[in-house]
């Protein structure tokens, strides 16, 4: 039995997004738990599909003593404020000093955190952790699929393990795998060789989905190498992690990378090269069709005439799960203009409109604008006669493969319908990605019986909605999660990297 310090600090930072990640964003609960410190952490994360929940469960099952530090997460947005970063990192380090000594440390990290004063949020945090615990004990971190894995992170961590799915349906499982690896490191005490590679092209999130090629076969190969498939053994390879990266982060080390850990240096380097070659050789395959809002509305109306299941329109650039404001109205305006009767779009984060709907009550008609609360890209609210069909408290539990078990607390919600066009909007009060059918059922919409569904999500929606969709159209409507990195005004990104697959090189 070992004493293991456990903590987490999660943020995916879109440095081009208009909203900062303040301490209040980390402190409060939304889809994930609120800030938790000490004894409150273990019950507070139990049952959520998040890495720390899986890690704690597995470490305890393996008989280790889990010593909670602190854990928190904020919705993806722009920079973590200096205040928020120093508060959370400060508590983590304070507890690490006060509660030690430890035999090992486990951290639940995203891997794409950028603070106002640190480009590499996780590398800096791990540097501070090492300064307390020294280099002799294992420091293992779990990572999001969208990690921008930096040399500093690889240097400070004994090992890191990333998600292998996008949509992320293996978040708690990844925590469990990190815990198992930590246990193995404590038991066999053999040094690990690290083989790290960075790639020289950015991959838009929308083409990173593991339900589709080329990511599907890349991650199948990763599993094969780790298991030693086709051979009698895997040559001492302990684990492989490939992180396709989070492009809208203006930092030098932004982009895809991989790391392989193993006991044999030559075999570890060879495995890294084999996986790297598989990614590089598929560069051209990270691509697909993008519809304008008008094209999408017209095509969806046409397809819905004969479809028996929903036509899903993925509003991929206004994904709050990647720093979008979740209130842009490009797709909504197109659906209204083309009179897409029965279409429903969500989640439209407009706290004032949601509150007004809740106060007016079901059946009332609101003559007001909806959406564009932040006013991204100069947009203005959509004015109409919005009938309040149903109101909700915003308190419910997720049921899909991504958000299953998440205990949502997202404030007043409402379903409102434009009496003229017949287009409906699900209003919400906190930024939350439309990635679980329960968000719609909460306000009386059965997604499977909706002809056209607009979802503010890039890929995560696919876990719960692809199985019920007739087809999915990927829409490029205004949003702070810009799909094509070529359009982003990078100042810090390293030179020589292609801004998209086969795209122009950053000078
Ligand atoms: Zn992610």
What is the reported pLDDT for 230? 61
What is the reported pLDDT for 244? 98
What are the Cα distances from residue 65, in Å, to 5, 61, 193?
9, 10, 27
Distance 463 CA to ligand 1 centre (A): 13
Q: Any idea what DSSP says for residue 167?
A: S
Phi, psi of 109 (to 5 degrees): -125, 155
Q: Name every residue whose Cβ is closer than 8 Å to that of residue 136 and which is 6 or more positions away in sequence.
A: none
Distance 257 CA to ligand 1 centre (A): 14
Distance 166 CA to ligand 1 centre (A): 7
Supply angle C-alpha 260, 264, 266, rounded to 5.
80
Distance 118 CA to ligand 1 centre (A): 20
What are the Cα distances from residue 30, in Å, to 7, 146, 233?
19, 21, 44
> Which DSSP helix (H) or strand (E) runs through 242?
strand 237-243
Supply angle C-alpha 296, 297, 302, rounded to 5.
95
What is the reported pLDDT for 21? 97
What is the reported pLDDT for 233? 66
Q: How far apart are CA 190 and CA 184, in angstroms?
A: 9
Q: Report whether 51 contacts 142 (CB < 8 A).
A: yes
Structure token digits, residue 21: 């990640």
Distance 395 CA to ligand 1 centre (A): 24
Distance 135 CA to ligand 1 centre (A): 29
Distance 99 CA to ligand 1 centre (A): 31
Distance 131 CA to ligand 1 centre (A): 28
What are the Cα distances from residue 317, in Å, to 113, 211, 270?
19, 19, 37
Distance 151 CA to ligand 1 centre (A): 20
Q: Report whether 127 contacts 150 (CB < 8 A).
A: no
Distance 435 CA to ligand 1 centre (A): 13
Distance 205 CA to ligand 1 centre (A): 9
What is the reported pLDDT for 231? 58
Distance 76 CA to ligand 1 centre (A): 10
Distance 188 CA to ligand 1 centre (A): 32
Q: With DSSP H G I counted as helix, E B as strand and the rest as coil, what are the percentages for the chain, rounded to 5?
A: 35, 25, 45
3-state secondary structure of 223: helix
Distance 324 CA to ligand 1 centre (A): 14
Distance 49 CA to ligand 1 centre (A): 13
Structure token digits, residue 366: 């609101």
Distance 386 CA to ligand 1 centre (A): 34
CA distance between the termini of the chain: 52
Q: Kindly report the three-state secondary structure assignment for every residue of 482-498.
A: CCCHHHCCCCCCCCCCE
Best CA proximity match to 221, nearest among 278, 162, 259? 278
What is the reported pLDDT for 235? 85
Residue 101's Cβ-count burial label (10 Å; 0-12, 13-18, 19+) is exposed
352-366 residues labelled b (16+ CB within 10 A) or e (exposed): ebbebbbebeeeeeb
Phi, psi of 43 (to 5 degrees): -70, -25
Q: Any idea what DSSP says for residue 291?
A: B
Q: What pTM value is reported for the model?
A: 0.93
Structure token digits, residue 29: 């609960």
Distance 223 CA to ligand 1 centre (A): 19
**Could you tell me which residues are beta bridge partners of residue 139?**
105
Distance 485 CA to ligand 1 centre (A): 17
Distance 204 CA to ligand 1 centre (A): 12
What is the DSSP code string of 135-157? SSS-EEEEE-TT----HHHHHH-
What is the reported pLDDT for 274? 97
Distance 112 CA to ligand 1 centre (A): 9
Angle, nearest 10°, between helix axes 121-133 and 82-99?
20
Q: Any idea what DSSP says for residue 213?
A: T
What is the reported pLDDT for 229? 72
Distance 390 CA to ligand 1 centre (A): 32
Best CA proximity match to 434, nearest among 462, 395, 474, 393? 462
Distance 168 CA to ligand 1 centre (A): 7
Average pLDDT of each block of 10 consecutive residues along the chain (507 residues)? 97 96 95 96 96 98 98 97 98 98 98 98 98 98 98 98 97 98 95 97 97 97 88 81 98 98 96 98 97 98 98 97 95 98 98 98 98 95 98 97 93 97 98 97 98 97 98 96 95 98 95
Distance 242 CA to ligand 1 centre (A): 13
Distance 146 CA to ligand 1 centre (A): 5
What is the reported pLDDT for 291? 98
Q: How far apart are CA 50 and CA 47, in angstroms?
A: 8
Distance 433 CA to ligand 1 centre (A): 12
Distance 145 CA to ligand 1 centre (A): 5
Distance 317 CA to ligand 1 centre (A): 15
> Which DSSP helix (H) or strand (E) runs through 103?
none
Q: How far apart are CA 201 and CA 440, in angstroms?
A: 37
Q: How far apart are CA 349 and CA 355, in angstroms?
A: 11
Distance 459 CA to ligand 1 centre (A): 10
């Amino acid at each position: 039995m070992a004493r293991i310090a456990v903590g987490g600090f999660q943020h995916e930072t879109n440095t081009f997004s208009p909203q900062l990640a303040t301490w209040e964003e980390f402190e409060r609960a939304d889809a994930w738990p609120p800030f938790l410190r000490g004894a409150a952490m273990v019950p507070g994360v139990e049952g959520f599909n998040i890495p720390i929940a899986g890690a704690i469960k597995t470490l305890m099952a393996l008989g280790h003593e889990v010593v909670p530090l602190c854990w928190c997460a904020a919705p993806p947005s722009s920079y973590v404020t200096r205040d928020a970063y120093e508060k959370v990192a400060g508590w983590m380090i304070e507890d690490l000093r006060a509660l030690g000594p430890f035999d090992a440390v486990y951290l639940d990290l995203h891997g794409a955190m950028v603070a106002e004063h640190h480009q590499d949020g996780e590398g800096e945090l791990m540097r501070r952790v090492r300064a307390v615990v020294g280099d002799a004990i294992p420091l293992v971190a779990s990572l999001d699929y969208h990690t921008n894995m930096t040399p500093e992170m690889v240097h400070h961590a004994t090992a890191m393990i990333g998600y292998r799915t996008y949509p992320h349906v293996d978040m708690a499982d990844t925590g469990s795998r990190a815990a198992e690896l930590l246990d193995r490191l404590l038991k066999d005490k053999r040094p690990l060789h690290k083989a790290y590679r960075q790639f020289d092209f950015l991959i838009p999130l929308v083409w990173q989905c593991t339900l589709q090629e080329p990511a599907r076969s890349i991650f199948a190969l990763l599993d094969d190498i780790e298991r030693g498939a086709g051979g009698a053994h895997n040559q001492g390879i302990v684990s492989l992690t490939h992180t396709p990266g989070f492009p809208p982060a203006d930092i030098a080390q932004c982009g895809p990378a991989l790391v392989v850990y193993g006991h044999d240096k030559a075999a570890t380097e060879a495995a890294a090269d084999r996986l790297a070659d598989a990614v590089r050789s598929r560069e051209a395959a990270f691509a697909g069709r993008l519809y304008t809002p008008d094209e999408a509305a017209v095509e969806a109306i046409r397809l819905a005439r004969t479809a028996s299941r929903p036509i899903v329109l993925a509003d991929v650039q206004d994904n709050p799960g990647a720093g979008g404001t979740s209130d842009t109205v490009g797709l909504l305006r197109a659906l209204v203009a083309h009179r897409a009767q029965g279409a429903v779009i969500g989640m439209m984060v407009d706290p004032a409109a949601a509150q007004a709907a809740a106060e007016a009550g079901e059946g009332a008609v609101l003559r007001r604008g909806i959406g564009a609360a932040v006013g991204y890209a100069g947009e203005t609210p959509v004015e109409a006669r919005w009938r309040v069909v149903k109101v909700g408290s915003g308190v419910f539990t997720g049921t899909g493969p991504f958000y299953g078990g998440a205990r949502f607390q997202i404030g007043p919600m409402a379903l409102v319908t434009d009496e003229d066009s017949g287009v409906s909007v699900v209003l919400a009060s906190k930024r939350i990605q439309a990635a679980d059918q329960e968000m719609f059922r909460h306000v009386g919409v059965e997604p499977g019986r909706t002809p056209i569904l607009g979802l503010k999500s890039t890929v995560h929606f696919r876990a719960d909605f692809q199985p019920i969709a007739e087809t999915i159209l990927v829409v490029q409507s205004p949003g702070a999660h810009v799909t094509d990195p070529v359009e982003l005004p990078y100042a810090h990104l390293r030179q020589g990297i292609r801004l998209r697959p086969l795209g122009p090189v950053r000078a």
